[in-house]
Amino acid sequence: MVSVRPALLALCLLTVLAVAVACGGSDAAAPSPTTVPPTSNATPQPPTATPAPTPEPTPAPTPAPPPTLDFSASQPRQGGFLFARLLYPPGGLTEATVEFDGASYPMLPSADRWFAVIGLDIYIGVGDYPITVKSGDAVLAAGTLTVSDGGFQYESIELPPSSIDLLSDQNAVANERAMLTQVFSRFTPERYWSGAWILPAPGPITNGFGLMRSINGGPYSPHTGTDIANEKGTPVAAAASGVVALARPMYLYGNVVIIDHGAGVFSGYNHLDSIAVTEGQAVTIGDLVGFIGETGFVSGPHLHWEAIIGGVRTDPLLFTQQPVDP
């Protein structure tokens, strides 16, 4: 009889080995267990709100300064001038005028301001004068200007009969005055000069502006310019830039050059020996305009230099003391 137990034992061992190899043996990794998140029983909290930033307050706009009158560039004396500036003009301003001593004067724009130059007559009264700036009927600004005494001196001079005879032709004198009045009545709405003026010629000042003179015992009358004495033929220069308004022989003034500096301001160069410019010619400060002479109503060679503002003769030396700019 054959025993089957060993055979069964061998079969079982093979079966066990086969299962072990099929399950991965020693090189196979064990399977990872599935992770299940734990269940929380806590009550969910609402999200914390982020505080909104505090808005910066909008700054209030700075109000524009009110229109203001400025007289700091003026020479407020008899024979001087008023230089009126309107600072901080209202936006969109298209025209403005200055009312002073019963008359109205146009203002001109310059950058962020307006200005006007007004001549103060030798005979203007000393004291306070109200000034108003208007645009149409609207008052933009107002102020007060104090005019001081000119401090003019008095002298008596004697002239030869040849000079005095010139005064006898009243028609010639009247025609000359009319022509000069016509020239000085012009108003150029542009300023040609800039900065302080220069002396037009070298030499001593023999007669100042405003000197009250009696000629050969006659009544006193003011000297309307500044006399610079020098030799005949000494060059004469333009005291400031501008356009030649007149260049011709005259009766009492002799050979004359008048320069229009704009804004109603003129300068005159009189008794010239000869003229070096033509009417309508543009000149720059320092340009040659003529030569010192003794033509017209004179007693010797010199330059009679004038500054005229709106037809009013003023002291030309005042324009050399500081810039007269807007």
Residue count (the chain): 326
Quickly tell me which residue has 């060993």 as its tokens.
6
How far apart (Å, rounded) are the C-alpha atoms in residues 265 and 262?
6
Domains of the chain by range and CATH?
68-147 (2.60.40.1590), 154-320 (2.70.70.10)
State percent of the chain over pLDDT 90.
74
Q: Which two tokens stand for residue 192?
A: 């040609």
Q: Which two tokens stand for residue 198?
A: 């220069």
Furthest CA-CA distance within the chain: 192
Q: What is the mean pLDDT of the chain?
A: 86
How far apart (Å, rounded) are the C-alpha atoms in residues 313 and 241?
19
Q: Give the containing element (helix H, strand E) for 307.
A: strand 302-309
Residues 97-151 have pLDDT tens digits of 999 999 999 999 999 999 999 999 999 999 999 999 999 999 999 999 999 999 9
Tens-level pLDDT at each residue, the chain (326 residues): 344 343 333 333 333 333 333 333 334 344 444 444 444 455 556 556 566 666 677 777 777 799 999 999 999 999 999 999 999 999 999 999 999 999 999 999 999 999 999 999 999 999 999 999 999 999 999 999 999 999 999 999 887 777 777 888 999 999 999 999 999 999 999 999 999 999 999 999 999 999 999 988 889 999 999 999 999 999 999 999 999 999 999 999 999 999 999 999 999 999 999 999 999 999 999 999 999 999 999 889 999 999 999 999 999 999 999 999 99
How far apart (Å, rounded) are the C-alpha atoms in residues 317 and 41?
103
Q: Are the C-beta atoms of residues 277 and 315 closer than 8 Å to each other?
A: no
